[in-house]
Amino acid sequence: MNQTIVIALLGLVVLAALFCAVAWMAIRSRNMQVWLGSYLRRKPRPAVNGPTHVMFCFVDHYEPAWGRVDLETQRQRVDRWYRDYPAMASRHRDADGRPPQHSFFYPEEEYLPEHLDKIAGLCADGYGEIEIHLHHDNDTADNFCTTISRFNELLHARHGALSRDRKTGQLRFGFIHGNWSLDNSRADGRWCGLNNELILLRELGCYADFTLPSAPSETQTRAINAIYYATDDPCHPKSHNTGTPVRVGGHASGDLMIVQGPLGLDWKRRRKLIMPRIENSDVRHSCPPTPERVDAWVRTGIHVEGRPEWIFIKIHTHGTQERDMDTLLGDPMHAMHDHLEKVYNDGSQYVLHYVTSREMYNIIKAAEAGMEGNPHRYRDFELAPPPGVTKWTNPLPAGQVREPEVVAGGGRSVE
């Protein structure tokens, strides 16, 4: 072999090594090494006979005080949602005649009665439900339990939120962890402090966690695109890194159900025309809910094992940031719902259901119990609606607004 060929081969080896090094640095910079293997090993959703039912859930890290703004700015943020969300949602309907549902995960540390009164008003009019969000740091188990228990009772008594367990009477709630740090999952231990947080949440009445996906944060789990039970190891953090998939004929195992949204790679939107962007189910001005993203969420096909004809799409946002509200309450959101209702609600190949986080959990539990057919029947399978929300029973065409029929014991609580 002559010297020229040897030099050329060495050059190719060096270039390949440099490329691998750069690619690995890019992967590490976005913490993709945590979950990329799971993504590459993913299996396609099994083929189904008949229509695919699409459960579409929009959860919101709803933080009126984001950025430590003054009270007047907080009021303007909440007032815009109170005014504009019904105007947007009333133009859309799913297969069951319901408008889009918004799950407001409200932070305990930002509680102000006047803000929750207005959000409860939206829920009383049939546009969503209130759940629990929490930012905390260096916390203790006793303080955490006291904080969550007090907030649960306050939300229920004052604002008609949260359901009681039919058997025990305990208040049940969905949870999103602030700063993504569920179960002390940051390497530096910040923004939590509790290695046994999953156990504590279960004991407090949490029915499921909706924090994930959190990529590109280091808090992202190895398990992706899944609905599973996580078992807590109180001696170590991030016990929800893996778990036992929820499956038809199975039963609750471990400490807490983890309901994830779609996570993957978007090769159509590349960084510097080379590296794919991370599709992490986040909706905001910088990543609007385009039809292409909706199609990707559907293709991900998150489902209960053994029930592939029911798929669950959970997307998320931080709804009170001014730069994003035109996206969340304006034309981009109309485009998303128009696409869902046109392409994924034809009645033969797809059937669309707008659900709250509680309803999504109920339908998951119905699938686990072996229920079949139209999942609309199982919106209240295990947990009944909170006392302050409207039960939508009869279909309405898009563009018409129903006079709210508030269930007993609740309603708008403005004083």
Predicted structure pTM score: 0.91
Residue 41's φ and ψ, nearest 5 degrees, are: -90, 5
Q: How far apart are CA 252 and CA 254, in angstroms?
A: 7
Every domain of the chain and the residues it spans? 54-378
Type of residue numbered 84: D
At 369, list the tokens: 């119990």
Q: Domain 54-378 adopts which CATH fold?
A: TIM Barrel (3.20.20)
Tens-digit pLDDT string for the chain (415 aa): 577 776 667 667 666 666 556 655 667 778 889 999 999 999 999 999 999 999 999 999 999 999 999 999 999 999 999 999 999 999 999 999 999 999 999 999 999 999 999 999 999 999 999 999 999 999 999 999 999 999 999 999 999 999 999 999 999 999 999 999 999 999 999 999 999 999 999 999 999 999 999 999 999 999 999 999 999 999 999 999 999 999 999 999 999 999 999 999 988 876 666 778 999 999 999 999 999 999 999 999 999 999 999 999 999 999 999 999 999 999 999 999 999 999 999 999 999 999 999 999 999 999 999 999 999 999 999 999 999 887 655 444 555 544 443 333 333 332 2
Q: What does the radius of gyration of the chain's CA atoms come to, in whole angstroms?
A: 22
At 405, list the tokens: 């029929």
